[in-house]
Structure formats: C-alpha cells, structure tokens
Amino acid sequence: MRDPYEVLGVERSSTQDEIKSAFRRLAGQHHPDKNPGDQGAHVRFKELNAAYQILSDPQKRAAFDRFGPAAVGASAGSGVPGVPFDMQDLNLDAIFGDLLGALGIRVGDRGTLQKEVRITFEEAAFGCAKEITYDRVEPCGDCAGSGSAPGASTERCSACSGRGRVRMQQGMFPIAIERPCGRCRGTGRIVTDPCRTCRGAGLAAKQKTIEVTIPPGVENGATRLVERGGNAVRSDRGPGDLELTIRVSPHELFRRVGDDVVCSVPISFARAALGGELEIPTLEGKGRLRIPPGTQPGAVLRIKGKGIPRRVVGGRGDQLVEVSVEVPTQLTAPQRELIAQLAKELGENVQPQQATFMEKLKGLFG
C-alpha cells in the first residue's frame, strides 16, 4: 500500500484544509472524465480517493500514523494492491459536499432562497405584478436527479444495505441512534458512473422566471414567501421556499408617513396672502388644492383619500401638502418700491406671528 501522504503529495504535519485542497486539485486533474482513453486515470483517481478517505478521518489518520498500513487493513475488491476500499467507497461522495457548496448549498440548508424585489413608489401604493428571474438549484435534467450517467445503473449501498439509514451507538450510552447513511446520503444507492452534467450530485443550477403579485400598500422592507420556489438540497425531496424582500425606490416628490403621502409645494407670497387654487401633483396625476387666505409658511394642508390604500381596515390615507412661501430675491426698482409701500401700509398690527414673537422677547429680557 502506498503512503497516503505520498499519494496526495502532502507532509505529515499538513492541516485538514491543506489535505482537502491537495485532494481536490489532484482529483480534478486525474478524474476519468477529464482523461478519456487513459485507463490509468481510473486507477489514479481511485488511489487518490483511498488516500483521502484515510487522511480526512482523524481517527483513521491517527491509526495510520501510529501503526502504518496494517491499521487500516485491505479489501480484496479494491483492484489496487494495498488500497483498503472497494468500489462503493470510490464514488464522488468524498467531494459531494464541495459540489453542493459550489451551488450555494451548505450542510443543514433547507433550500430557502432570499432575493430582493425593487419596485417604484407608485407600484408600492397601488400594487403590481412583477416578473422575477433568478437562479436556483433543481434536480439535474440530464440524469433526472439520479446522479448517474444516462443508461448507467446504481448499486445498493453496502453500509446501510439499501435502507438509507444506519444505527450508531455514541460514546458510553447503550442507546443506538438511527441517522441517514453518510455513504449514500440516505438514498440507499451508490452512483458508480456519475452524470457528466452534475458530476454525480443529482442537482444543477438553472434559471427560473416567476410572476409575483405585490399587494397595494406594501411597505419598504416587507417580505413575501413563495412556497417551493427555493433550492432543492436533495434530488428526491421538494425544494425550499423563496423569500422575497420588497425594496421601494424613493420618489422625487413624495414620501410616505404611515398611510399618508407627504409632499412640499412652494407658493408665492401673494398666493399665501390672498389664497386661491393651486395645481399640485398627486399619486394619480395632477390635482387641485385650495389655499386659504393668510396661509403661513410651514402650514400643512390635507387632501382626504389621496394617500396609500390601507391594507387592514380599507380605504386610503390622506395627502399632506407642506406649504413653503417663496421670497423673491431679484427685484426691480419698481417692485422694491411697491413692496416698501405695502409694508408701510400693512404696518405691524397685521403680522400676528411677529407681534407674538416680540411679546415673547419682552417677557424674556424684561
């Protein structure tokens, strides 16, 4: 039996990560699929698997370091002198976790996918239907999820006798625990000739397009669940769910406060003083707003029923219009004269806010 450290080209002091990296590099180099017509590639790949089986298991590695090849024994069915594993040990199980990792699936993953959906302010207010295209993991179409090459058959797993589950006794406790078989991943079958598309994983990444209905009044950060829209973590089980997070793009005119829509509208001094009607933007287009005479800067005017649809009690919120009074900055000589005459005519008695402010100053400073 060749020294497994020599087979993988690593030192005896190498870490598990270094051993794993060396195995993945050499396995990719000597895989039979990458060396068609080379009969020795199968033997080299088989030997690499055997060496990795020993060095990736801390107990087997410790036993080999202490007692040598005798500690791991030999199997008559290996086909390679001194290699202690039969054909059922030499499938792609050693790198199956890495294959799923490349697809974005980790140990214990239930297949849940998380994606963001960006919509406009108006779409959030009134609802919409969005077409979403994304990548997910599905059973391989070329092998129908079996992991075997077309026309190839699988073998019954000898570790679990085809049951897919094994019984184990842990530590000093006499209670046997049943769990999925690690060799066949709970399927009861062993892939001997892996599918070239999925490399024996039985799963492959595929693009999927779905249509999702966004309800009226949805808020930024809300989530929607699409059942069975996520990844498949095993070819013999259904996929997980797709969790969509709604992201509402900011609007250049409106902002949302609860179920109300707020916007700021500038008006002239004359319009604020005299009042009148003003054309303003709404979620449904142009609208008309009545400005009361004597409207003060910062006043908030309300338009009933022009806000966001309420999702629970029905109806709609309001539109709140924040009024800002524009002060002209570039005046002609005649305009300055007219404003001066107006100020003289108005005096201070018709400016209640200024009078109140002056009273507060007198009370503060005596």
Annotated binding residue at 263? no
CA distance 148 to 197: 10
Sorted by sequence, the CB contacts under 8 Å of residue 167 that are 6+ apart come out as 176, 177, 178
Positive/negative CA dihedral, 140, 141, 143, 146: positive
In the three-class reduction of DSSP (H, G, I as helix; E, B as strand; rest coil), residue 194 is classed as strand
Beta strand 255-257 pairing with 260-268: antiparallel
**Could you tell me which residues come within 8 angstroms of residue 312 by beta carbon, excluding any fewer than 6 positions away?**
none
Q: Are 265 and 289 in contact (CB under 8 A)?
A: yes
Residue 116 contacts residue 245 (beta carbons within 8 Å): yes
Determine the Cα–Cα distance for residues 255 and 121; give it in Å rounded to an integer. 9
Residue 181 is labelled as binding a ligand: yes
Provide the residue count of the chain: 366
128 annotated as a binding-site residue: no
DSSP β-bridge partners for residue 323:
265
Please write down the HEC assignment for all residues of 23-76.
HHHHHHHHCHHHCCCCHHHHHHHHHHHHHHHHHCCHHHHHHHHHHHHHHCCCCC
Q: What is the Cα gyration radius of the chain?
A: 37
Is 195 annotated as ligand-binding?
A: yes
Strands 203-214 and 223-226: unpaired
Summarize the annotated binding site for Zn(2+) as residue ranges: 140, 143, 157, 160, 181, 184, 195, 198
Annotated binding site: 140, 143, 157, 160, 181, 184, 195, 198
